[in-house]
Amino acid sequence: MDDGLRSHVLELLSKGVRLDGRKPLDYRQPIKVETGLYSTACASAKVSIGDTEVVVGIKFEVGTPYPDNPDQGTIIVGAELVPMSNPEFELGPPSIDAIELARVVDRGIRESKAIDFKKLCITKGEKVWMVAIDIIPFNDAGNLFDAAALAALAALKTAKLPSYADGTIDYKSSRKEKLVLNHEPISVTVLKIGNSFVVDPLIEEQKVLDARLTVASLKDGTLCALQKGGDSPLGSEEILQMVDIALDKAKELRGAL
Amino acid sequence: MTKLLVNEKDVVVPGELLVEGMDYLPGFGTYREGDNIYSGRLGLVTLDGRTIKLLKLSGRYSPKRNDTIICKVVDVNFSGWRLETNSPYSAMLSMKDATSEFIARGADLTQYYKIGDNIICKITNVTSQKLIDVTMKGPGLRKLMGGRIVPINTNKVPRVIGKQGSMVSMIKQATNARIMVGQNGLVWIQGDIPAMELLAVRTIQKIEDEAHVSGLTDRIKEFLEKETGTTLGGTSNVVQETN
Amino acid sequence: MSYKKRIDNRSFDEMRKIEAKVGVIKRADGSASFKIGNTWAYAAVYGPRNLYPKFLQNPEKGILRCNYNMLPFSSSSDRVRPGGSRRSKEISMVTEKALSPVLNLDDFPNAVVDVFIELPQTEAGSRCAGICAASMALADAGLDMKDLVCAVSVGRVDDKLAVDLDYSEEAYEDGPVADIPVAMLPNLGKISLLQMDGLVKKEQLQEVLDKAKKACAEIYKIQKQALKEKYRVV
């Protein structure tokens, strides 16, 4: 860990401010959400929070259902940390960070029961829709978790099922049928650095964190997914405080959609 | 008939035809092909008598002898320290150049500089393979404690420093921050008040953005006066310093 | 059969609409996006920088390393599995050969200039779009470059030669088709990429190269404009 950077970040936090002048619980502005950018995707969204830009593209595929859920479709979330977005990303198979990002976004959507998987059934026991959600950062200036989750949700909200006949998917002509979302989970990541909690971390803050907690929640405040990261353990008091912060900030992100 | 096809301060791109004819000399960033002079990079046209050359607008730092640079210690071995220089090449600081004190053989070198420390040093030699030697012996060269390191466009360093240090002195005066500018495009800033430290950072970014617009010094002075609500002394009062 | 009118009504020498922008990825040393019709390429340059593993280092000069990658949702048909393919590796290699002739990396022994090309949308002509974006990104990164590099696909559709084939022309079934991507150094007049699949008579090749040259001159104007737009001294 970069001790000089950490002590400077802590010094600023003790005075209530961060490296870019923000208050600890402020998100960078503006938070921008654009949808429908890429015509080849079934649905797409680009979220920018400050300088961080993340794109999510959705492709519908047809596959066989899992044997224990013969009448349910599914989602597959992938994340590719492309080297163009961050000089420290390397080419090669998905790193553990890419895997964690994909799985955390997946849990937020899956566990919230946002999608009614039964509506994705084509022929019970034989064919179901699989929603492939691919996360690609375009510029990593920190906080990929929240930007990716927001982009995934924004893309899902605009997704329309393609038509499927005689074993082939016709991507060009989409049915008018929208993918129905029953819930809209929002992810907020809270960091603990020293004795302070911050949200929407910069790259530098991610490098000196003690711990982080990503909280996915629904509009009514129900928690649907949690992920703790970082090397330091957290007390239960702290966890509850971080959850409270996440629930509060989720409103702002929800408003950006 | 020689024809100059561009004007001073024009932005030109690689391969752009600059001069038709033999009456001009191809300076830095340009090249002659046949009877014509072409641009050899993205740059700003500068005319120096009969020589046409380009000012670099972007591009990473290339280490040069006698440059004062800000580095980070990345490794300590038995004879010295290896440093990151914000370029593709690392630098070596050997024991004998580290300090004016005498360092005994086998001494614990981390007492002097340890991994992660930021230092300001001077390049004494660059080999053809870009092996860099630096020294800490010299006025103003030292370990940088506290503060933050801000990367800037290497090519804007002269504008951030200003003529005889006038620009950086003006920022120091307005914000009361301690500032050191490395030729390698790294700037060390330490302020007592976070808001002032941040103002120094923002001012430097503003200089980067507006480096080639005329009247920069006056605009920056106006900006600092507005942000701090104070009036700054004239630049003629500034004590001559290189950094 | 005769290919009388192009499927999208363009004239035979007309390229699809082009949108070029420089400086689109803030963290990169240089970056650009190049969109032609529905094919959209992003390019980011990092370097010159440290090169690992060491055995790749060249003690005489820096090396250029290119990677072409299609994003999973970039195809108008099925999802593209991440991780590249033999095709994308070959395209990465010819892209590097298309760009390296204009660069001078003598001042950077043992270092690397990395070019990452990502395509969120591909509908024919993707390797050419990638090269056009990469060339602007390299200039944006402040590298010594003798010229920019422009690339376009000239095609043969039935009895006609057409500039910048689109997806439906590549898939034309009523007659022979050839797809010929060409990359040029527009001011030096040299060709740095030439590939072909399909059928073409030797006599037509000169005309193909002439059409490519004309199209590349237009592309150069657009690339120049995009670079000047970012660096405009206000």
Q: Using CB atoms, list chains with 3+ pairs below 8 Å to chain C.
A: A, B
Comparing alpha-carbon positions, the chain B residue that sits nearest to C59 is B129
Per the model's pLDDT, the better-predicted residue between A200 and B110 turns out to be: A200
Q: How many C-alpha atoms does B157 have within 13 Å on its Cβ side?
A: 23
Which of B7, B44, B60 best tests the C interface by mutation, with the highest count of C CBs <10 A? B60
Tracing tokens 């657009």 back to the chain, one arrives at C222
Closest CA to B184 of B135, B137, B129, B121: B121
User: Looking at CA atoms only, how far is residue C202 from chain B in angstroms?
Assistant: 31
Least Cα distance to C200 among C216, C180, C181 occurs for: C180
CATH number of the structural domain spanning residue A18:
3.30.230.70
pLDDT at residue number C34: 98
Answer whether A197's CB lies under 8 Å from A24's CB: yes
The proportion of chain C whose per-residue pLDDT surpasses 90, expressed as a percent, equals: 88
- Decide: C40 and A38 in contact? Cβ < 8 Å: yes
User: Chain A within 8 Å of B147 (Cβ-Cβ)?
Assistant: yes
Query: Cβ atoms within 10 A of the Cβ of B185, count?
Result: 23
Checking if the pLDDT of B238 tops 60, the result is no
Q: Is B117 on the interface with A (CB under 8 A)?
A: yes
User: Tokens in use for A123?
Assistant: 């022929």
What's the sign of the alpha-carbon dihedral C199, C203, C207, C209?
Answer: positive
Query: pLDDT-based confidence at B240, cuts 50/70/90?
Result: very low
**The domain defined by C18-231 carries CATH number 1.10.275.10:** no
According to the model, what pLDDT value does residue C232 have? 84
Q: Which of B111, B114, B112, B65 is nearest to B91 (CA)?
A: B65
Predicted pLDDT at B239: 47
Q: Cβ B198–A20 below 8 Å, yes or no?
A: yes
pLDDT value at position C124? 94
Q: Is B91 helix (H, G, I), strand (E, B) or coil?
A: strand
Report the SS3 class of residue A4: helix
The answer, yes or no, to whether residue C42 has pLDDT greater than 90, is: yes
| DSSP H or E stretch at residue C90 | helix C86-99
B194 closest CB neighbour out of A2, A4, A15: A15
> Could you tell me the residue ranges of all domains in chain C?
18-231
From chain A, the residues in CB contact with C38 under 8 A are: 39-40
B118 interfacial to chain A (CB closer than 8 Å): yes
- What are A122-145's pLDDT values in tens digits? 999 999 999 999 999 999 999 999
Q: Are C41 and C118 in contact (CB under 8 A)?
A: yes
Chain A residues within 8 A of C122 when measuring between CB atoms: 40
Residue carrying structure tokens 């082939």: A168
Residue C112's pLDDT band (boundaries 50, 70, 90)? very high
Reported as a single tens digit per residue, the pLDDT across A101-120 is 999 999 999 999 999 999 99
Examine the pLDDT at B120 and tell me if it is beyond 50. Answer: yes
- Tell me the nearest-neighbour CA distance from B20 into chain A, angstroms: 39
Which chain C residues have a beta carbon less than 8 Å from that of B62? 107-108
Best probe of the B interface among C227, C230, C234, by most B CBs < 10 A, is C227
Cβ-based neighbours of C108, under 8 Å, separated by 6 or more: B62, B88, B130, C47, C48, C61, C62
Per-residue pLDDT of B72-107, as tens digits, reads 999 999 889 999 999 999 999 999 999 877 787 778
Residue B183 pLDDT exceeds 70: yes
Provide the ipTM.
0.95
Provide the pLDDT for residue B242: 44
Q: How confident is the prediction for chain C on average, in pLDDT?
A: 95
- Report the distance separating Cα A14 and Cα A10, nearest Å: 6
Nearest to A98, CA basis, from A49, A48, A136, A150: A136
Looking at residue B236, its pLDDT comes to 47
**Token duo for residue A81:** 């940390």
pLDDT of C64: 98
> CA angle, C38 as apex, C36 and C42 as ends, to 5°?
65
pLDDT (mean) for C190-218: 95
**What does the pLDDT read at residue B234?**
56
**pLDDT the model gives residue C185:** 97
Smallest Cα distance from B240 to chain A, Å: 30
**CA–CA distance from B134 to each of A173, B82, B96, B131, B145 (Å)?**
65, 10, 11, 10, 19
- Alpha-carbon gap, residue C180 to C184, rounded angstroms: 13
C1 pLDDT band, cuts 50/70/90, is: low
| Domains present along chain B, CATH in parentheses | 3-56 (2.40.50.100), 68-144 (2.40.50.140), 148-237 (3.30.1370.10)
Q: Report A:157-176 residues touching C (Cβ under 8 A).
A: 169, 171-172
Which residue type occupies A30?
Answer: P
Mean pLDDT of C163-183: 93
Mean pLDDT of B57-81: 95
Nearest to A82 among C26, C69, C78 (CB): C69
Residue of B nearest to C189 (CA): B15
Q: Give the chain A residue whose CA is nearest to the CA of B191.
A: A12
User: String of b and e for C137-164 (b: at least 16 CB within 10 Å)?
Assistant: bbbbbbbbbbbbbbbbbbbbbeeebbbb
Q: In this predicted structure, what is the pLDDT of residue B237? A: 45
| pLDDT above 70 (res C45) | yes
Pairwise CB contact (< 8 Å): C120 & A59: no
Instruction: Judge: A8–B148 Cβ closer than 8 Å, yes or no.
Output: yes
Number of domains in chain A: 1
CA atoms within 13 Å, Cβ hemisphere of C49: 16
Considering only CB atoms, A19 lies closest to which of B117, B146, B148, namely B148
Which residue is listed with tokens 């600092």? B224
CA distance B178 to B168: 10
Q: Which of A40, A80, A93 sits opposite C76 (nearest CB)?
A: A40
Angle at C233 between CA C227 and CA C234, to 5 degrees: 120
Domain enclosing residue A147, as ranges? 3-256
pLDDT greater than 70 at residue B243: no
Within 10 A of A165 (CB to CB), how many other CB atoms are there?
A: 7
Residue-level pLDDT, tens digit, chain A, 257 residues:
888 999 999 999 999 999 999 999 999 999 999 999 999 999 999 999 999 999 999 999 999 999 999 999 999 999 999 999 999 999 999 999 999 999 999 999 999 999 999 999 999 999 999 999 999 999 999 999 999 999 999 999 999 998 888 888 888 776 678 888 999 999 999 999 999 999 999 999 999 999 999 999 999 999 999 999 999 999 999 999 999 999 999 999 999 99
The tokens of A185 are what? Answer: 């989970």
CA atoms within 13 Å, Cβ hemisphere of A9: 25
Kindly report, residue by residue over B127-153, the tens digit of the pLDDT.
Answer: 989 999 999 999 999 999 999 999 999
Q: Do B117 and A5 touch (CB under 8 A)?
A: no
Pairing of strands B118-126, C160-163: unpaired
**Cross-strand partners of B125:** B133
Of C26, C43, C73, the CB nearest to A40: C73
> How high is the pLDDT of residue A44?
97
d(CA C66, CA C43): 10
